[in-house]
Amino acid sequence: MPVLVMKFGGTSVADLSKIANAAAKVQREVDRGYDVIVIVSAMSGKTNELVKWVGETSPLYDAREYDAVVSSGENVTAGLMALRLQEMGVPARSWQGWQVPIQTTSAHGSARFIDIPRANIDQKFAEGMKVAVVAGFQGVSPECRITTLGRGGSDTTAVAFAAAFDAVRCDIYTDVDGVYTTDPRIVKKARKLDKIAFEEMLELASLGAKVLQTRSVELAMRYKVRLRVLSSFEECDETSGTLVCDEEEIMESKAVAGVAYSRDEAKVTLFTIEDRPGIAAAIFGPLADAGVNVDMIVQNISEKDYDDAHPGAVTDMTFSCPIDQVPRARKAMEDAKAAGLINYDDLIIDDDVAKISVVGIGMRSHAGVAAKMFEALSAERINIKVITTSEIKISVLIDRKYMELAVQALHDAFGLDKA
139 binds ligand ASP (CB under 6 A): no
Please give the Cα distance from 139 to 155 (Å, whole number).
14
- Selected binder of ligand ASP within 137, 161, 261, 402 (CB under 6 A): 137
Nearer to Mg ion, 47 or 395 (CB): 47
Please give the Cα distance from 92 to 389 (Å, whole number).
49
Angle (CA) 321-327-328 rounded to 5° is 75
Nearer to Mg ion, 81 or 369 (CB): 81
| 341-370 footprint of ligand ASP as x/- string (CB under 6 A) | ------------------------------
Cβ neighbour number for residue 306 with a 10 Å cutoff: 15
Nearer to ligand ASP, 135 or 332 (CB): 135
- Selected binder of ligand ASP within 153, 258, 286, 362 (CB under 6 A): 153
- Selected binder of ligand ASP within 136, 178, 360, 362 (CB under 6 A): 136
47 binds ligand ASP (CB under 6 A): yes
Long-range contacts of 182-187 (CB under 8 A, 24+ apart): 182/258, 182/259, 182/260, 182/261, 182/407, 182/411, 182/416, 183/209, 183/261, 183/407, 186/261, 186/404, 186/407, 186/408, 187/259, 187/407, 187/408, 187/411, 187/417
Nearer to Mg ion, 152 or 286 (CB): 152
Under a CB-based contact definition with an 8 Å cutoff, are residues 181 and 258 in contact? yes
Please give the Cα distance from 258 to 410 (Å, whole number).
9
CB of 213 to ligand ASP, least distance (A): 7
- Selected binder of ligand ASP within 41, 174, 232, 269 (CB under 6 A): 41
Nearer to ligand ASP, 171 or 316 (CB): 171
- Selected binder of ligand ASP within 93, 118, 151, 337 (CB under 6 A): 151
CB of 152 to ligand ASP, least distance (A): 5
118 binds ligand ASP (CB under 6 A): no
Query: DSSP code of 188?
Result: T
Burial level of 69, CB count in 10 A (0-12/13-18/19+)?
Answer: middle
237-253 core/surface letters (b: 16 or more CB in 10 A; e: else):
eeebbbbbbebeebeeb
H or E segment to which residue 68 belongs: helix 63-70
CB of 200 to ligand ASP, least distance (A): 22
CB of 75 to ligand ASP, least distance (A): 11
- Selected binder of ligand ASP within 75, 106, 141, 154 (CB under 6 A): 154
152 binds ligand ASP (CB under 6 A): yes
Q: Do you find a cis peptide bond into 101, omega within 30 degrees of 0?
A: yes
| 139-158 footprint of Mg ion as x/- string (CB under 5 A) | -------------x------
Nearer to Mg ion, 42 or 250 (CB): 42
Please give the Cα distance from 183 to 404 (Å, whole number).
10
109 binds ligand ASP (CB under 6 A): no
Give SS3 for 191. Answer: coil
Q: Pick from ligand ASP, Mg ion, none: which does 286 bind, CB < 5 to 8 A by kind?
A: none
Rg (CA), the chain: 24
- Identify residues 66-85 at the interface with ligand ASP (CB under 6 A): 73
Which residues are at the interface with ligand ASP (CB under 6 A)?
Answer: 9-10, 41-42, 47, 73, 136-137, 151-155
